[in-house]
Structures are given as C-alpha cells and as structure tokens.
Amino acid sequence: MSNTSCKGGSRQSSSSSSNFSLRNLNGIINIILNVFKIPEQPAELIPPPLIMLGAALRPGLSAKSIASRIISRQSEAGRVTGDVFASGPNTEETMELIRIEEITNALKTEAVVNIVVPPGVPTATVGVGNLGAPVIANGFTTGPSVGQGIIS
C-alpha cells in the first residue's frame, strides 16, 4: 500500500526554524504571507544633525583595533590566548588579524553606499540676488534624489 498523504516526508527535521516548504500547503501559505510582510524599521533612527556632526568624529575602520577587540574577547568563549603552549607567536591570533584586514579592505575598497532622498523633503537655499542681498528660497524635493559614497 502506498502512502498518498499530502503531508511532507520525514526529510525535514523538527528543529528546523524555517517555515518555507513547498512540500505541504502550510509551507506554501507561509511563503505567500511572508512576501507581503512589511520589513521592520531600524530600532533607532539617528537624527540628521547628529549624523552631520558625528560623522567627522568617527575614527574610521581599523583592522588592528577590530582584531585586538576580537582577540581580547576570545577568552569569553573559553579559547586560550597569547603565546601559551607555543614556541612562537600564536598563529590563531595572526590569522584573526589577517581575516579582519581582508574584511576591512573589502569594505573600504569594494563596498558601495547608496542613499536616496525621498520626494517631499523640505529644502532651503540661500543665494545672492542682483543687488548683492541674500535671497532665501524654500521648497520641497519633487523627485527622489540619489547619492553615492564610500566607507572610510
């Protein structure tokens, strides 16, 4: 006798946290419902004046400082750090530095930052009039403005 049940086979583990399965109706419904979910907004939006002031105060990416913070926290995971039990430098710590150097190099040289200013953002412009007096103009953006930047 063959099993003609519509339920999924025993290939999926019960500990799987994914509800995306095309083997049963519930999985297909979950996929369709997840398509229409609105993504959550970031937990904390930084006000634009703080971004303008704070961006210049940031030190930028440093592979050595990131690697040293990771190496200093390895003891939290129970790993032995330093030159213990070795006749030379700890190769794990050297590998950690190489790994972080490659990651930061990729971020600094290959990452693309795209920004979009949506329509309806208030703008103010100050210019010089015909007689040399300042002219102030207020308005709104009429279309999306796109900009690009780099990570430093």
Residue 138 has a pLDDT of: 92
Single-letter amino acid, residue 96 = E
- Model confidence, pTM: 0.50
The string of pLDDT tens digits covering residues 53-73 is 888 888 888 889 998 888 888
Beta carbons of 123 and 140 less than 8 angstroms apart? yes
In the 3-class helix/strand/coil scheme, how is 99-121 assigned residue by residue?
Answer: HHHHHHHHHHHHCCEEEEECCCC
In the numeric block, the tokens 């703080």 are attached to 50
* The pLDDT of residue 2 is above 70: no
145 CB neighbour count, 10 Å cutoff:
13
Judged against a pLDDT cut of 70, whether residue 7 lies above it is answered with: no
pLDDT band at 99; cut points 50, 70, 90: very high
Higher pLDDT among residues 9 and 135, named by residue = 135
Q: How confident is the model at residue 21 (pLDDT cuts 50, 70, 90)?
A: low
Return the pLDDT at 103. 93
